[in-house]
């Protein structure tokens, strides 16, 4: 569908888009995600031909658009400010692109009514723009864009001014349009939750560059950079060490598959020795009430305990076991509602704070809990320097 090859854009001598290459498939909702000023809007304006690119090529269905004027590119756009004509009615706004397609009045009326029905605004044709709510204006802008009958719809943060409920409603409309018309969409957004909810794939941008591109699940669970890990949602970073291809954490063991706590390590053969942070989403952590947690554990062998490098003061293996066991106990310290679930914060005796998601935090007791890792999505380690520099 849309192919962008090594695109560079300079504005007033500054590099805004840097060597960008992306490919969007037919019928796909593809999101450009990033903070304001990262180059998202500049990129789509270059695709539309509204600003010149310094180098690189843009193709649509194999046709080179790079040197074509905007009206010849077979793309349509809805900007954040919508740009509806206030002096025209709803129907006249939607019909505006049809004038350039040489449709007669009967054809225009039929298409306008079909598009109004498609965006759930039946009977609004004679309404003025001023009489509409914010969500209704969004629907009119999208209907007008669809009237152009272009192959690709570009949306430049059109929902950013709406309240959360309306944003969700407009997202559902977008999914509906994709289903009904096989619409291909390039969506610009700064909201990672919106991108995850709506997109088939996401390109995360920073300072004009694409940091990572892939399915939402890939960016969420397997980020390639600390920036991506933090941008895509709440995360836990747990400090440990890699020694001879094994990652170990000093404050608690890594559970076996049966959740018994042993000094099992994670094999990470590709990492050189040094300090690293284990990255985990809050969905990958669970806390289970520790039965007999305050008693000394005999599950940890002396050789395992010694490998964890406890202080010399722990002169006896049983003392090492006790220190190791108690350090792995967590207590709930606070929670916050995030919609349908709660984020629960936990702390152990060493001051390490972690968080996970819970449906019923009120059921938690102020008793020791053991942490259970669920790293089935793969082990992601970032060097200590990466985390501290970001």
Question: How much of the chain exceeds pLDDT 70, in percent?
Answer: 86
pLDDT tens, 125-179? Answer: 999 999 999 889 989 999 999 998 888 999 998 888 778 888 888 888 889 888 8
What domains, with CATH codes, occur in the chain?
A: 2-224 (3.40.50.300), 234-293+327-389 (2.40.50.140)
Rounded to an integer, what distance in angstroms lies between the CA atom of residue 101 and that of residue 71?
12
Q: In what order do the strands lie in the sheet with 75-78?
A: 75-78, 152-156, 184-189, 29-33, 201-206, 209-214
Measured CA angle at 307 (ends 301, 311), to 5 deg: 100
pLDDT band at 295 (very low <50, low <70, confident <90, very high): very low
Which of 237, 256, 247 minimizes the C-alpha distance to 386?
Answer: 237
pLDDT band at 100 (very low <50, low <70, confident <90, very high): confident
Rounded to an integer, what distance in angstroms lies between the CA atom of residue 306 and that of residue 127?
77
Rounded to an integer, what distance in angstroms lies between the CA atom of residue 364 and that of residue 96?
60
The pTM (predicted TM-score) of the whole model is: 0.83
pLDDT tens, 106-121? Answer: 999 999 999 999 898 9
Rounded to the nearest 10°, the torsion over CA 239, 242, 248, 254 is 100
pLDDT tens, 171-214? Answer: 888 898 888 888 899 999 999 999 999 999 999 999 999 999 99
With contact defined as beta carbons under 8 Å apart, do 289 and 365 qualify? yes
Rounded to an integer, what distance in angstroms lies between the CA atom of residue 352 and that of residue 346?
8
CA distance readout (Å), 331 to 99, 290, 295, 346, 366? 67, 11, 17, 5, 6
Per-residue model confidence (pLDDT) at position 292: 58
The residue whose two tokens read 């002096």 is: 87
Per-residue model confidence (pLDDT) at position 192: 95
pLDDT tens, 84-97? Answer: 999 999 999 999 99
Rounded to an integer, what distance in angstroms lies between the CA atom of residue 261 and that of residue 147?
62
Q: Is the torsion defined by CA of 265, 266, 272, 275 positive or negative?
A: negative
Per-residue model confidence (pLDDT) at position 200: 96
Q: In what order do the strands lie in the sheet with 274-281?
A: 266-267, 246-248, 235-243, 274-281, 380-383
The residue whose two tokens read 């695109």 is: 7
Query: What is the distance, to the nearest Å, from the Cα of residue 63 to the centroid of all Cα atoms in its chain?
Result: 31
With contact defined as beta carbons under 8 Å apart, do 39 and 17 qualify? yes
CA distance readout (Å), 90 to 85, 201, 374, 376? 9, 33, 52, 51
Rounded to an integer, what distance in angstroms lies between the CA atom of residue 44 and that of residue 46?
5
Per-residue model confidence (pLDDT) at position 180: 85
With contact defined as beta carbons under 8 Å apart, do 12 and 185 qualify? no
Per-residue model confidence (pLDDT) at position 327: 54
Per-residue model confidence (pLDDT) at position 207: 96
**Better-predicted residue by pLDDT, 69 or 259:** 69
- Round the average pLDDT of the chain to a whole number and report it: 85
Per-residue model confidence (pLDDT) at position 305: 36
DSSP per position, 160-212: TTS-HHHHHHHHHHHHHHHHHH--EEEEEES-HHHHHHH-SEEEEEETTEEEE
Lowest mean pLDDT among 40-44, 297-301, 372-376: 297-301
Q: Six-digit token pair at 233?
A: 């949602």
Which of 225, 245, 246 minimizes the C-alpha distance to 237?
Answer: 225
pLDDT band at 318 (very low <50, low <70, confident <90, very high): very low
pLDDT band at 237 (very low <50, low <70, confident <90, very high): very high
């Amino acid at each position: 569908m849309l192919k962008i090859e090594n695109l560079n854009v300079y504005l007033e001598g500054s590099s805004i888009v840097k060597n960008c290459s992306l490919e969007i498939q037919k019928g796909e909702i593809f999101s450009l995600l990033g903070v304001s000023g990262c180059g998202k809007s500049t990129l789509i304006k270059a695709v539309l031909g509204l600003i010149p690119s310094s180098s690189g090529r843009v193709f649509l269905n194999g046709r080179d658009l790079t040197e074509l004027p905007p009206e010849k590119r077979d793309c349509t756009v809805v900007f954040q400010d919508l740009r509806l004509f206030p002096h025209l009615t709803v129907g006249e706004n939607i019909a505006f692109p049809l004038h350039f397609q040489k449709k007669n009045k009967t054809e225009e009326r039929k298409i306008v009514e079909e598009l109004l029905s498609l965006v759930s605004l039946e009977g609004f044709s004679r309404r003025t723009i001023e009489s509409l709510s914010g969500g209704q204006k969004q629907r009119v802008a999208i209907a007008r864009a669809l009237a152009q009958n272009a192959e690709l719809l570009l949306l430049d943060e059109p929902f950013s001014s709406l309240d959360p409920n309306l944003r969700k409603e407009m997202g559902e409309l977008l999914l509906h349009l994709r289903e009904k018309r096989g619409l291909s969409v390039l969506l610009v957004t700064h909201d990672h939750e919106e991108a995850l909810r709506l997109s088939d794939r996401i390109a995360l941008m920073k300072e004009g560059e694409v940091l990572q591109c892939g399915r939402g699940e890939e960016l969420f669970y397997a980020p390639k950079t600390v920036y991506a890990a933090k941008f895509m949602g709440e995360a836990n970073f747990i400090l440990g060490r890699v020694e001879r291809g094994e990652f170990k954490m000093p404050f608690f063991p890594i559970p076996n598959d049966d959740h018994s706590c042993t000094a099992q390590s994670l094999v990470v053969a590709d990492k050189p020795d040094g300090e690293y942070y284990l990255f985990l989403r809050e969905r990958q952590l669970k806390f289970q009430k520790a039965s007999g947690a305050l008693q000394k554990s005999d599950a940890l062998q002396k050789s395992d305990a010694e490998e964890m490098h406890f202080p010399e003061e722990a002169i006896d293996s049983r003392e090492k076991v006790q220190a190791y066991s108690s350090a792995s106990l967590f207590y709930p310290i606070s929670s916050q509602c995030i919609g349908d679930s709660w984020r629960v914060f936990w702390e152990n005796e060493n001051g390490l704070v972690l968080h996970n998601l819970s449906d019923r935090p009120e059921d938690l007791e102020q008793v020791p809990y053991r942490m259970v890792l669920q790293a089935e999505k793969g082990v992601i380690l970032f060097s200590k320097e990466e985390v501290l520099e970001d």
